[in-house]
Amino acid sequence: MSMKIRPGAIFRKNDQILLLRYEYNGTSIYNIPGGNHDEGETISEALTREMWEELGVKITIGKLLLVAEASKNNTKQEVLHLIFESYIAENQPVINSNECSALELVWMSISDLVNIKLYPNIAGELFKVLRNENGPVYLGKIDQPWY
């Protein structure tokens, strides 16, 4: 069984976080910005590269907030999500359509997290961490619907 490593970035502005909105089967799905780790990269290099490629921002990575494992459908593909508090150091985020198929960037209120479909499926836990500043939190295997 193989495991992909997917670092993700939580960017905060006031009481909001930055999410990417996608549309699958008529349903809005929100993703934590991030991407797959490439062989030979450190986790921080992967997250820094992904944010530059997809959103055109240079970032500073803060503390680890959440760790979760998910299985992709009924395959042997496992994904390890590492969610980091992150800060935009340069530029404003803009979707690079050559690297990212998201429809839009959304600054979502932290209190609205529990009302959306989020990838990875950690909205409730993320809400608690962002409200209480607890962490890092290892969630173990999460129930991940695939849209």
| pLDDT tens-digit series, residues 31-54 | 999 999 999 999 999 999 999 999
Are the beta carbons of 127 and 114 closer than 8 angstroms?
A: yes
Confidence at residue 142, expressed as pLDDT on a 0 to 100 scale: 77
CB 93, CB 99: distance < 8 Å: no
Q: What is the pLDDT of residues 120-132, one digit of tens each?
A: 999 989 998 998 8
Share the mean pLDDT of the chain: 91
Mean pLDDT of 102-122: 94
Predicted pLDDT at 71 = 82
Q: What mean pLDDT comes out for the span 105-132?
A: 92
pLDDT at residue 74 is higher than 90: no
Q: Which helix (H) or strand (E) holds 91?
A: none
User: Encoding tokens for residue 134?
Assistant: 């607890």
Does 75 have pLDDT greater than 70? Answer: no
- Name the more confident of 145 and 114: 114
Which whole number is the average pLDDT over 46-75?
A: 91
Contacts of residue 101, defined as CB under 8 A and 6 or more positions apart, other chains included, come to 22
Query: Please, which contacts does 104-108 make with residues 24 or more away whose CB atoms are closer than 8 Å?
Result: 104/20, 104/21, 105/18, 105/19, 105/20, 105/21, 105/55, 106/18, 106/19, 106/20, 106/21, 106/30, 107/13, 107/16, 107/17, 107/18, 107/19, 108/16, 108/17, 108/18, 108/19, 108/30
The answer, as to whether pTM is greater than 0.75, is yes
